[in-house]
Amino acid sequence: MRKKQGTKIGFLGPWGTYSQEALFKLLPVREDDIVPYPTEADVIRAVERGEVEAGVVPIENSIEGSVNVTLDVLAFETSLYIQKEVIIPISHNLIARPGVKLEDITTIVSHPQPIAQCRRYLSTKLPNASIEFANSTAAAVKLVSEQNQPMAAIGTKLAADLYGLSIIDSGIEDFEGNQTRFVLIGKDLTKRTGHDKTSIVCFIFVDRPGSLLQILQEFAYRYINLTKIQSRPTKKALGDYCFFIDFEGHIEDEVVESVLKCLKCKIREVKILGSYPMADGVES
């Protein structure tokens, strides 16, 4: 996607989130052209309604896996496409009001993903602190800035600076090399670049032995490399699942056209979530 003059881009807000950082790496935008939304679902639905041209949301983390709300809204609620992806390193900070010390903290607040990514640190350093969830890391930091209680947030340095807070500890994620993949969501499919990835959802007719094997064989026969596979409930009945698959190639590639054609003959539905340029490693 090439940004047009006056185009508005949505992101998971408020100001100071990792999604905002990812947006600046994905597109050359000004702050006047970006619009924060409170949840991932709100960003995607704003694109669907036409409030913004596109939106940036997290979709996958190297520690905690997929951001399921992003997958579910794309698969079940909208007809949008992934247009671009970026992978950024994630280093979490423990943030509090100036003067608050580690031993003072009674409550930790953040988005569920960072809480999970720092689980070991929190259980070791703050075993008695209660946990509260926020819609984003920046929303958590903003909340802490508005409270007089000894609370702390897990968030970005950018958010700490924006809301006038102090970083008590940094690099608190449980595993080194923590990374999150963010995607740009829009209404149009992206043209082939020659270095692409495609995301699909496969819906089977009925749960039976070999259903997943039938799908995977089509890729194996054509030597198409899968970069991700995940099952998710279809929201219809217990035990009724669909399969999210990412693989190398573009839907305009002859070999990808072939695999999609064969899959459509074997299963109930194949939904295209996007065919887009593959990220070139981790952004600094």
Classify 229 as helix, strand or coil: strand
- How close are the terminal C-alpha atoms of the chain, in Å? 21
* Assigned token pair, 136: 């984003």
* Residues noted as catalytic: 180, 182
263 touches 201 (CB < 8 A): no
Burial class (CB in 10 A: 0-12, 13-18, 19+), 109: buried
Identity (one letter) of the amino acid at 227? T
HEC letters along 262-282: HHHHHCCEEEEEEEEECCCCE
Q: How far apart are CA 48 and CA 41, in angstroms?
A: 11
Which residues touch 217 (CB under 8 Å, ≥6 apart)?
none
153 touches 88 (CB < 8 A): no
CA distance to 83, 94, 115, per residue, from 147 (Å): 39, 16, 20
Number of H-type helices and E-type strands within the chain: 9, 15
Reported as type and span, the H/E element at residue 227 is strand 226-233
